[in-house]
């Protein structure tokens, strides 16, 4: 089943493994960009590029403090992904509850057929 | 591995662009397969209580087509169709799936039926594909994928309360 269009951006933003590393790092709290560069072992322009993508979907927020740029995770922007998976789980759970009922019918019919033989 | 008697389907994201749906049923696999591939039976469960199925067409052979249409309770019509690529009766079905609202995006679904002690585990692996999606898939390899992000989000969601 296709994803809701409104969550596609957040999905794309977290589909890239480096960006997930950044999100993981930020899950522990606010971090200056230099910290992220060191931890990821990437060149600063690459880290900045990933941070820009994450900022565009609102997954991270940034603020300047003195000469430092500090990044922090914004869970609210990523919540649609979480919600989408949960909604998908509900859809299939409801579907399979119905399938349980169909299977009960089939089992009864099979037993009836066997006793006819 | 969770021992489910009935109830909740488990949805995980094993790799980028993949979705895995798992559920155990209290029935032998022949019956689960039958309920999964017989139009009159599919009509009874696929709608998930969200509306009424108006079309359930299944041409169960390799290269054969399928199409499901549901009219949701609010009147919205949603259609899905695809083609069967591989069929191993009572074991495995590989088919394509196109949501008619996004006709450019084709997914490949693999349904696997595994029986143990008269109970059947049904696994449906949905592989989404598009050039962008595929490139991303190759770039990230088959590693942990979105599941990581999901675990992280579980954490984040808790912190938002």
pLDDT at B130: 55
- Determine contact: A67 vs chain B, CB below 8 A: no
pLDDT higher for A84 or B137? A84
Over residues B81-91, mean pLDDT:
97
**Do B32 and A79 count as a contact with CB atoms less than 8 A apart?**
no
* Nearest Cβ partner for B45 among A82, A99, A107: A99
Residues from chain A contacting residue B99 (CB–CB below 8 Å): 1-2
**Alpha helix locations (H) across chain A?**
8-15, 17-27, 33-40, 44-56, 75-116
Complex ipTM above 0.90?
A: no
Over residues A59-76, mean pLDDT:
90
**Alpha helix locations (H) across B11-105?**
29-37, 39-45
Write the pLDDT tens digit of every residue in B6-47.
467 887 777 667 788 899 998 999 999 999 999 999 999 998
Residues from chain A contacting residue B105 (CB–CB below 8 Å): 2
Compute the mean pLDDT over every residue in chain A, rounded to the nearest whole number: 83
* Neighbouring-strand partners of residue B126: B19, B109
Which residues, 6 or more positions from A14, have their beta carbon under 8 angstroms from its beta carbon? A20, A23, A59, A78, A81, B146, B149
Residue % of chain A over a pLDDT of 70: 85
Write the pLDDT tens digit of every residue in B102-136.
777 788 999 999 999 999 999 999 898 754 543 33
């Amino acid at each position: 089943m296709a994803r809701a269009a409104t969550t596609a951006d957040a999905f794309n933003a977290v589909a890239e493994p480096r960006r997930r590393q950044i999100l993981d790092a930020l899950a522990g709290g606010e971090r200056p960009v230099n910290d992220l560069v060191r931890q990821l072992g990437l060149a600063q322009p690459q880290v900045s590029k990933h941070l820009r993508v994450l900022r565009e979907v609102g997954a991270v927020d940034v603020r300047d403090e003195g000469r430092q740029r500090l990044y922090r995770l914004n869970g609210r922007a990523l919540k649609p992904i979480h919600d989408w998976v949960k909604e998908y789980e509900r859809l299939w759970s409801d579907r399979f509850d119905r399938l349980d009922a169909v299977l009960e019918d089939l089992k009864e019919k099979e037993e009836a057929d066997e006793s006819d033989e | 591995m969770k021992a489910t008697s009935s109830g909740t389907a488990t949805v995980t994201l094993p790799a980028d662009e993949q979705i895995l749906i798992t559920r155990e049923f209290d029935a032998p696999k022949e019956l689960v397969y039958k309920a999964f591939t017989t139009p009159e039976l599919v009509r009874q469960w696929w709608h998930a209580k969200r509306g009424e199925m108006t079309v359930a067409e299944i041409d169960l052979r390799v290269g054969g087509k399928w199409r499901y249409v549901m009219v949701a309770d609010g009147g919205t019509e949603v259609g899905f169709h695809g083609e069967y690529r591989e069929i191993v009766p009572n074991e495995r079905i590989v088919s394509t799936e196109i949501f008619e609202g996004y006709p450019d995006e084709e997914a490949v679904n693999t349904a696997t039926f595994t029986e143990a002690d008269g109970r059947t585990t049904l696994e449906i692996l949905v592989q989404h594909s598009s050039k962008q999606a595929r490139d991303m898939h190759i770039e990230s390899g088959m590693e942990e994928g979105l599941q990581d992000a999901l675990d992280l989000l579980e954490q984040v969601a808790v912190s938002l309360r």
